[in-house]
Copies of this chain bind each other. A is one copy, B any other.
């Protein structure tokens, strides 16, 4: 009987009057064991619900068949979809997933990583906290042999496999969509973080303007504090009021994140602006409810589930490859635009 009273090899050995290693080999279908013995052992094991102790196995084999995941938050639409993708692949490959939240704090993130590392995970999947600028700890773990894959929020501070969305293109497409639909004065709401996804989305926006020969107006860009919902809401509110107070006010807004997109819509409604006649709106978001919103919201959709799947696949391949000399690659999955009423053509 082991820690949780389950049957162990020893128990079976005793019951069957065989040695522990014979049992182990039988259960692992070793060629050394006679068919007869194997059957006896297997039968007993099944009858008594034997299942190997993963802790012991992990300790012995130097791995735990578990993957550590660090995300900023669990209560988040897009992240939930990514986790779902990660879990699908992990489960298929018999890896358990251990999930931890950084809550956007670099310090807490480090604690998560440390805990996962000492917990003996075989690898780590991480979407860094927006605070995180220092990747030296992660790098040091990597150098000592721990496979790491970045997903969603990427960074060039560490050399490894990375799986994200093509944020530049997504932002470019969204802005172009607005322009094609007759909107020329396009504001942009982004986060005040240094995350690459923020910069890429901003750059996509700028490039679309440039390609359309629309002058970029710095006053139409506002960066909002992401630290908490309260602060985000007040920043957004302020930004919107500012935009609408401009002499040459915008006729459309492109929003850079799930949170910002949906909250912006809510705020515009609350402030009494009519979408899209007063102002059009398109934003990054994965919510299923986009079409049920008032008005139906045009969105840039990220392949979140697929990102999770691919990131998990990359990590598992890293874990299971003996030679660690594969070229690291960065994959950017395509986003797509879902046009709805909030960006109805002006014509």
When the two chains form their complex, are residues A146 and B4 in contact, meaning their CB atoms are under 8 A apart? yes
When the two chains form their complex, are residues B63 and A73 in contact, meaning their CB atoms are under 8 A apart? no
When the two chains form their complex, are residues B4 and A144 in contact, meaning their CB atoms are under 8 A apart? yes
Asked whether any CB of chain B lies closer than 8 Å to the CB of A75, the reply is yes
- A53–B91 Cα distance when bound, in Å, is 24
Write out the residue numbers on chain B whose beta carbons fall within 8 Å of the beta carbon of A15. Answer: none
Interfacial residues of chain A within 55-81, with CB under 8 A of chain B in the complex:
55-56, 58-59, 62-64, 66, 73-77, 80-81
A332 CB, min distance to chain B CBs, angstroms: 22
- A288–B233 Cα distance when bound, in Å, is 13
Asked whether any CB of chain B lies closer than 8 Å to the CB of A266, the reply is yes
A297 CB, min distance to chain B CBs, angstroms: 9
- A145–B5 Cα distance when bound, in Å, is 7
Asked whether any CB of chain B lies closer than 8 Å to the CB of A83, the reply is yes
When the two chains form their complex, are residues B55 and A120 in contact, meaning their CB atoms are under 8 A apart? yes
Interfacial residues of chain A within 238-267, with CB under 8 A of chain B in the complex:
262, 265-266
When the two chains form their complex, are residues B289 and A117 in contact, meaning their CB atoms are under 8 A apart? no
When the two chains form their complex, are residues B99 and A51 in contact, meaning their CB atoms are under 8 A apart? no
A258 CB, min distance to chain B CBs, angstroms: 11
When the two chains form their complex, are residues A4 and B117 in contact, meaning their CB atoms are under 8 A apart? yes
Q: Which residue of B lies closest to A267 (CB)?
A: B292
Asked whether any CB of chain B lies closer than 8 Å to the CB of A180, the reply is no
Write out the residue numbers on chain B whose beta carbons fall within 8 Å of the beta carbon of A62. Answer: 2-4
Write out the residue numbers on chain B whose beta carbons fall within 8 Å of the beta carbon of A303. Answer: none
Q: Which residue of B lies closest to A291 (CB)?
A: B266
- A164–B291 Cα distance when bound, in Å, is 31
Using a CB–CB cutoff of 8 Å, the interface residues on chain A facing chain B are 2-6, 51-56, 58-59, 62-64, 66, 73-77, 80-81, 83-84, 87, 91, 96-101, 114-120, 141, 144-146, 262, 265-266, 269, 287-289, 291-296, 305
Q: Please name 22 pairs of A and B residues whose Cβ atoms are closer than 8 Å in the assembled complex, sorted by A.
A: A3-B62, A5-B146, A6-B118, A6-B144, A51-B114, A53-B59, A54-B118, A54-B120, A55-B119, A56-B59, A75-B305, A76-B80, A77-B80, A91-B100, A96-B119, A97-B99, A97-B100, A266-B292, A289-B293, A293-B293, A294-B294, A294-B295
